[in-house]
Structure 1
Amino acid sequence: MRGVLVRASAAPFVVVGGLAAGAAAAALGQKRAECSASFTTTVYMPTTVYVTASEPPALSNSAPGTSSGVVATSTSTSGDAVPSTPLSATSSSAGPSTGVSPSDSGTASFTVSLSTSTSAVEEPTSTQVPTSEPISSSVTSDIISSSVTSGAPGAPTVKPPGPPSPPPIFRGYKNAIYFTNWGTSGNSSYLPQELPVSELTHILYAFADIDANGTVKSSDAFADVGKRYARDDPLNRTRGHHAYGAVKQLYLYKKRNRNLKTLLSVGGFDYSPKFVPVAADPGRRRTFADSAVRMMADYGFDGIDIDWEYPADADQAQHFVLLLQACREALDKFSFRHRLPYRFLLTVASPAGPVNSHKLDLAGMDPYVDIWNLMAYDYTGSWDNTTGHQSNLYRSPRHPSATKLSTDDAVQYYEGLGIRSSKILIGVPTYGRSFESTSGLGQAYAGVGTEGGGVLLYKTLPRPGARELWDDGAKASWSYNDATRELVSYDTPRSTLYKARYVRRKKLGGAFFWEATGDRAGAASLVSTMSKTLGWLDESPNHLWYPMSQYENIRWGMPGA
């Protein structure tokens, strides 16, 4: 996105829409013309749009803060620290981010920008705007999104358009995965370079923490932006403030795979209690939303994922709706303020079981949510009295006590509330749950083992001596060891194949995996099985232009990388 800011203080005015920087000088370097002002509008256009006025204000290359001039630097708005770059501009201190500010004399002071989207990151260059502009052009109503209401004389109020709405047409299935910052360290670390990005459409980076005042913050700054990988600068000889760690690696993946989106996931099980007081307070909700968007932009991500496990009552459910509303508004305001014709995503990790899902106002949340990550796992575990499948697709007629819940039940519940099926992703675990001293499915057990609290990574299964079994009614796998009497419930390529077919048959949005560490490589990979069976993966583009990031290498698009 390129932009040049034009500001004038007289009531008659000129509004200039999107134009590539190279064509701006030629189009504007002509004789001044006079006509009558009729309306104001804001447009995102790949071509030039002019609306001219009588007694046009004198435009000159004067400094910010004067009555007229060209502003070639950025100023921060609403707490955003926007770096000074020639091609990024926000509204000046004389007016709000809408670009219109009433004055005491009844005249309007306003700011507008020349902007154009670009699919590749380019280094900014300086642009001069000539002092005259003679052209008048009309714009069709299907491109303009504007609203003008009456107010004080000479002070119209302009309603800014939001970013593009979600695409009304299907653009391919989503195959997403959670990738954790804590998983990048330790003896069994899983590095960003191991992610199967060619099989993925979305990477959800987990988890960001939450301060008591609502500020979203890093839970591990070293893993996020500090850790050095191969080809990074180990001696810190590069000048400036740069992001390294997982954030840099994820941005590089996006740059090389233009359909890959990354999201900042906030909360998770450990940090979820912090949502309760923050979501209940309007001020802290705004702080949460604004800081989450700020962190998303600093990291060069494509959206925000909220993982609150779980609202406990109707009041907390309503606060969750208001928190999502604040986040959606903050994302849309961010796009508008920085002239970005891109819809940043807002997703939710949502429960599949009725104990938690029935407490939520899912219908009230849905207008703000782009993707529902349905956590279709943990249907059974150490909290139950009997063994069972932990992520079965259907209830099993043969083993009803082992399938008290099912993914199909959860999907039907969400769809029954009016949630569009194409917004739902079903979760697939890359781990299994262990039950010891049991005689089989739906039977009593004694303990889950000391290893991982009964949670075992899929890539370690089946355990030595165990037989891998299949429940055709539930479309679920498990293993059993006759000698040790241990049962483990987990997904396999076979169960994942059925889940992918279910996604296609039900016209769901796709699937996601919790989490990257547990999967295998090669033909036994659950992620790869899902990707190949779905076939058509999401083709919507990601976003690479973050001139407001605090990190210089993100801000400049990783030049040379």
Structure 2
Amino acid sequence: MRFALSSQVAAAALLLASPTSAQVNPLQALSNVPQTNYNNATQARTGLVSAAIPLEAVKALGGFLEGSLGSLFGGLIPRSTKQARADSYASYKTTLYYPNWDIYARNYQIENLPASKLTHVLYSFANVNATTGEVYLSDNWADIDRGRPSGDTKNLYGSLASLYKLKKNNRQLKTLLSIGGASYSPNFAGPAGTASGRAKFAQSAVQLLMHHGFDGLDIDWEFPSDSTQAANYLRLMQTVRAQLSSYSKQLSGAPQFLLTAAVSAGPDKYNLLNITALNSVLDMWNLMAYDYSGPWDKVVGHQANLFVNTSNSASTPFNSDYVIKQYIAKGASARKMILGMPLYGRQFAQATAPGKAFSGTGSTGSWEAGIWDYKAIPASGSSSTFKIYTDTQAIASWSYDSSSKMLISFDTPQITRAKANYVTSRGLGGGMWWEGNGDFAATDSRSLIAAFTNVITQRDTTQNVLSYPYSKWDNVRAGMP
């Protein structure tokens, strides 16, 4: 598509440039992006959960500079030495969610992870007992038993043994146990509302970390629904942080275990949170900056755009730039903000273009109707009917097959490089993806993770933890010899 030339288009074009060709200071080039308000509402799915969000919250905010340049160096909680602290501030995170069900139909194993490109892997998901608050593994066979010889009850097997071995061979790779997700999130509210429930949650979560060799915990509660739950969410995070600190003090060198959270791009969700207080206990805000549009909408929208398209506002009901600025304005450190990106595409049937009407998702998809793994796009069509388009103002892309009238909103390598440029220009903490199975191998030129890491080469090299002397598993205590 073609758009009228504006300061925002010029800024977006700069982001789309290759890292070697961008000679202009992007902070300066983006300082005059106009502001726009939209005062209607839509139904959107942010972070895999539906939420009605007013579009008055969606703005094209001016520039990348806002306030002091000190935000570029906002504080990640240090893990050990002064040098590690400095390295953490000066480098970027590349974080990938790995669901434990990927070993089944998708046949995507721990060994398939692009470990050299990643700084963090979030192993998903542990469940929560809705009554007691106990955190427990959701699939023992996949997580700890697969490959276990008959009679061996003393050693760790399964995907978690493979994950420990992977991080042992890639010392920059930190592993976190992600708790919750969309399916298990209803189980948080009850135990989070009592001191005993929060204590049980924290104690059992840290025990899983201790036994299975994780470097931290990721809390994926989707989402606290009112002010009471939001207050309990903060109390839960504070309790978990205290438990992590207590465990750390028992170990040689007192390593800093990580606490992160998957958070919504929906204003009705994040406006409930005490972001300043949460920022003091969190190491990373994993922003689910995707699912901005889908079958719940009346017109086709981009699902993961950076900016608003002022010429076609219906196609950009949300934009990541606004959301990130809101989190920072409310107290989040810029260097803790991690930009989430999809490794999948959302399909719109009987469509013509972004901002126009469609009818459903169609019956096709990689694993569910309307959702395609990125590596499976294009889903159909021939060279004469299938094309890929880029919205250079919104920083978004889509494919369209004119014969089947199928439109798929997804990120291309070009868009991913632009997002990497955005992360560095804005002084953010890095990038995150849901989820690993959707990408090409990192050695493939089409890989989105590779596209991002080819731009952001200065990545977090803080070493992971390998010593777990209190693990119940013999091979974990021994360092997985």
User: What band does the TM-score fall into relative to the shorter chain?
Assistant: 0.7 to 0.9
Correspondence for 2:97: 178
In the alignment, is the contact (CA less than 8 A) between 1:171 and 1:539 conserved in 2?
Answer: no
Aligned-residue offset at 1:479:
0.7
Pair 1:544-2:466 in alignment: yes
Aligned-residue offset at 1:338:
3.6
3-state secondary structure, aligned to 1:167 = helix
Pair 1:517-2:429 in alignment: no
Question: What is the TM-score normalised by the length of structure 2?
Answer: 0.79
* Counterpart Cα distance in 1 of 2:336 and 2:170: 23
* Counterpart Cα distance in 1 of 2:104 and 2:473: 23
Correspondence for 1:209: 127
Aligned-residue offset at 1:236:
4.2
3-state secondary structure, aligned to 1:250 = helix
Match of 1:342 among 252, 255, 262: 255
In the alignment, is the contact (CA less than 8 A) between 1:493 and 1:526 conserved in 2?
Answer: yes
* Counterpart Cα distance in 2 of 1:235 and 1:345: 33
Aligned-residue offset at 1:376:
0.5
* Counterpart Cα distance in 1 of 2:186 and 2:351: 35
Match of 1:220 among 125, 139, 143: 139
Deviates more, 1:414-423 or 1:508-517: 414-423
Q: What is the CA deviation profile of residues 365-393 of structure 1, one whole-angstrom value per residue up to 9, with x for unaligned ones?
A: 11110111011101111111111100001
3-state secondary structure, aligned to 1:249 = helix
**Higher Cα Rg, which structure:** 1
Correspondence for 1:194: 112
Match of 1:499 among 407, 416, 419: 419
Aligned-residue offset at 1:463:
1.8
3-state secondary structure, aligned to 1:368 = coil
In the alignment, is the contact (CA less than 8 A) between 1:478 and 1:487 conserved in 2?
Answer: yes
Aligned-residue offset at 1:361:
2.0
In the alignment, is the contact (CA less than 8 A) between 2:275 and 2:331 conserved in 1?
Answer: no
* Counterpart Cα distance in 2 of 1:359 and 1:436: 35
Q: What is the CA deviation profile of residues 142-178 of structure 1, one whole-angstrom value per residue up to 9, with x for unaligned ones?
A: xxxxxxxxxxxxxxxxxxxx98799256241111100
RMSD of aligned alpha carbons:
1.6
* Counterpart Cα distance in 1 of 2:200 and 2:80: 21
Match of 2:410 among 482, 490, 494: 490
One-letter amino acid matched to 2:161: K
* Counterpart Cα distance in 1 of 2:450 and 2:80: 33
* Counterpart Cα distance in 2 of 1:355 and 1:202: 29
* Counterpart Cα distance in 1 of 2:181 and 2:149: 34
One-letter amino acid matched to 2:184: Y
In the alignment, is the contact (CA less than 8 A) between 1:171 and 1:540 conserved in 2?
Answer: no
* Counterpart Cα distance in 2 of 1:363 and 1:456: 37
* Counterpart Cα distance in 1 of 2:263 and 2:173: 22
* Counterpart Cα distance in 1 of 2:249 and 2:332: 27
Deviates more, 1:383-392 or 1:335-344: 335-344
Asked which structure has the greater RCO (Cα within 8 Å, sep 6+), the reply is: 2
In the alignment, is the contact (CA less than 8 A) between 1:353 and 1:379 conserved in 2?
Answer: no
Q: What is the CA deviation profile of residues 336-364 of structure 1, one whole-angstrom value per residue up to 9, with x for unaligned ones?
A: 13445200000000111213222222222
Pair 1:530-2:452 in alignment: yes
3-state secondary structure, aligned to 1:359 = coil
* Counterpart Cα distance in 2 of 1:174 and 1:398: 34
3-state secondary structure, aligned to 1:223 = helix
One-letter amino acid matched to 1:397: T
Correspondence for 2:328: 415
* Counterpart Cα distance in 2 of 1:484 and 1:399: 24
Correspondence for 1:19: none
Judging changes above 3 Å, is the alpha-carbon distance between structure 1 residues 477 and 385 closer, same or farther for their aligned structure 2 residues? same
* Counterpart Cα distance in 2 of 1:382 and 1:467: 22
Deviates more, 1:441-450 or 1:327-336: 441-450
3-state secondary structure, aligned to 2:85 = coil
Correspondence for 2:355: 442
One-letter amino acid matched to 1:480: Y
One-letter amino acid matched to 1:428: M
* Counterpart Cα distance in 2 of 1:388 and 1:285: 39
Aligned residues: 391
3-state secondary structure, aligned to 2:418 = helix
In the alignment, is the contact (CA less than 8 A) between 2:342 and 2:433 conserved in 1?
Answer: yes
In the alignment, is the contact (CA less than 8 A) between 1:176 and 1:203 conserved in 2?
Answer: yes
Aligned-residue offset at 1:226:
1.1
Match of 1:360 among 249, 254, 273: 273
Aligned-residue offset at 1:482:
0.8
* Counterpart Cα distance in 2 of 1:450 and 1:371: 37
In the alignment, is the contact (CA less than 8 A) between 1:173 and 1:509 conserved in 2?
Answer: yes
3-state secondary structure, aligned to 2:369 = helix
Aligned-residue offset at 1:460:
0.6
Report % sequence identity: 39
Correspondence for 2:378: 462
3-state secondary structure, aligned to 1:263 = strand
Spell out the pairing of 1:89-168 with structure 2 (5 A cutoff). Answer: 167=85
Question: What is the TM-score normalised by the length of structure 1?
Answer: 0.68
Aligned-residue offset at 1:287:
0.2
Pair 1:427-2:347 in alignment: no
Deviates more, 1:188-197 or 1:315-324: 188-197
Match of 1:326 among 239, 251, 260: 239
* Counterpart Cα distance in 2 of 1:379 and 1:535: 29
Match of 1:246 among 159, 169, 191: 159
In the alignment, is the contact (CA less than 8 A) between 2:145 and 2:156 conserved in 1?
Answer: yes
Q: Which runs of 4+ in 1 moved over 2 A?
A: 162-169, 234-237, 337-340
Aligned-residue offset at 1:415:
1.1
In the alignment, is the contact (CA less than 8 A) between 2:279 and 2:333 conserved in 1?
Answer: no
Deviates more, 1:453-462 or 1:309-318: 453-462
Correspondence for 2:197: 284
* Counterpart Cα distance in 1 of 2:405 and 2:273: 39
Q: What is the CA deviation profile of residues 188-231 of structure 1, one whole-angstrom value per residue up to 9, with x for unaligned ones?
A: 22111110001100000000001121000010011111112xxx
Higher helix share: 2
* Counterpart Cα distance in 1 of 2:109 and 2:325: 37
